[in-house]
Chain A
Amino acid sequence: MNDERGGEGFAAGPPQGEMRPLGGQRSTRSDERGGHILDVRDLHVEFPTALGPALAVDGVSFTLDKGMRLGLVGESGSGKSTTVLALMQLIKAPGRISGGQAILAGDDLLAMSAQQMRSVRFSRIALVPQGAMNSLNPVLTVRAQIDDLLDAHGQKPEPKERARHVAGLLQRVGLPENVADQYPHQLSGGMKQRVCIAIAIALSPQVIIADEPTSALDVIVQKQVMQTLIHAQREVGAAIILVGHDMGLMAQFAHVVGVMYAGRLVEIAPVQEIFANPRHPYTRMLISSLPSFATRKVFRGIPGVAPSIVNPPSGCAFHPRCPRAEQRCSREIPVDDVLAPGHHVRCHFARELPPVNAAGEALA
């Protein structure tokens, strides 16, 4: 049943010392070399502020294999949404991508011109936005909005073929055909989100980015939307990056989970591995703070507040909240430590921490 799980061959890029120039050359390192559909290397995004630049994304590297589902978790302001929006060049000025590469099957997404990017969006990398209610145009039917996309990419100009394509898309996301001629206000929140998924797969992209697609939906609908997303992904053979803060949902959805904190990817590992053997104290606390039906009246929050990214704590940004922190943590930024194939951690003590039990106990 979980045949796709495990995220074999997953590896984040090696830590990069110097910042890479935003630039030009194509890479030949793509899927013919055995699997990576997307290779993000040392991504940096910054926003200028009155107090100096805020590093919203600070050296994030990961790879994505064909058909893989990556979950990116972290609290508000950790840079998870900024990371995926950068992949589509959707960072709004004055924010800018200040370094790194994102190689999608040989082409660097970050080096593309605005025009090139327009042709790549949704045809090769698509987005399922956070609020389906706000992303659909209220005065256009669903069909007109799918038409817009197909027109922009010059796809299926023949009317009969197009109608068939639209019907097929709706069927793939479990919606009846008549939805095509309805307006967004006639649909429920879950149906609107499914329409957004249908639009995302309309051009069979290689990567689908889903930015908290269920956060505005009821819990029962959430599961249906996630099932729809997986079903649609399989149909077009895309990889998915799911952004969210619900570790419980990630446990069920993702093959590989990446945890972000203060703009850095602090831990990334196959889902079974990260839940059984979380090595970063923050990951550990995220997992143990999950409420479940197993225990009552046990509150394990993460003390302290999220760090400022304008003026982040020195060294490891988590050290002010970390129960394992030592003096060294406030001085040295932990390097990317590879504990096992596909299991990367940025913590000075990643190798010495004992395995954690199922309840997330036994810290130090």
Chain B
Amino acid sequence: MPNKKRTAVAAAGIILAGALVSFAVWPRMFEAGTPVVNVYCAHDAIFADAIFDEFTRQTGIKVAITYDTEATKSLSLVDRLKREREHPQCDVFWNNEQVGTMDLAGQDVLATYKGSGYGRIPALYKDADGRWTGFAARMRVWIVNTKAMPPDREKVETFFKNHPEHCAMANPLYGTTLTQFSILWQLRGPEHVKSWRADLRQRGLREMAGNAPVKDAVAEGVCEVGWTDTDDFFEALDDKKPVAMLPLFVSDGKATGAESKYTIIVPNTVGLIQNCPHQSEAQRLVDFLLSAETELALARSKSRQIPLGPVDSQKILPEVRELAQSVPQGYDLRKLEMPRRECIDWLKSESRR
């Protein structure tokens, strides 16, 4: 009798193991036949989820998402897409910045697609060949602790110059801080950026792990001034922290006047993957992401993304409306690929010393 029972337990174990192995080999076994689109998404999950849910609700197409986490930021989705170039698994890439997407376009990872949303985005924020299109942007800003000082541009800039030890910025190897450094690299030259950073570090500028810690450090009064993005700033504001912001301007330092100053507008970008497995579903998602509806939804979300295309201005919050006026003043990031690469190489070489 125990032998029979043993056989029964062994059989149950084998069935369970078989089920586990089958699921491991074919994780979509329960969803066979459902239309699906694979997305690699570098935008914040807490905001992107709502957009994807709405797309699925409207079209019936399920969205399988791989998010770019803090854990993978160094091994970003951009690198994963490059590695998968010969055998693409992803259909749509939603990046939270522009230069990495341009890098992919340069390596023939992205396909040309000018769908219904392409036309409504200004030329400054899209690829002329249609390999990627920008939408719903963030802006680089000064974040100021109002208990420490008033949000006065001159005072803030002077304070940063004189007391960098009370100021914070994110590690420039990543994200929008890298974009900011790359712009300075292009505008002012490598030598200027190198000596400027060395001086700031030597005088104690705090380099944090990301923009969110910069925002937290300023919001908590640990640092008085920092650089971050508008979405992080608004998070602190919603938490009723004593913070204010000022748009960050960049210039070549030579010419004077308003026309020589640029804001740093960093759009989300979307691209269709070359030879992707679910092309028609992917095109529908790209159209959806580039629609006024999505830009409005992201502008009304807690992150207050700035719409790049025309939307009904009455439907967006006043602070976003104000930010949207800076869109034409944004620095042209389309020629930033090479400075970014050089900047990364330099920053890495610094870390090896």
| A and B: bona fide binding partners | no
Q: Interface on B for A, CB 8 Å cutoff?
A: none
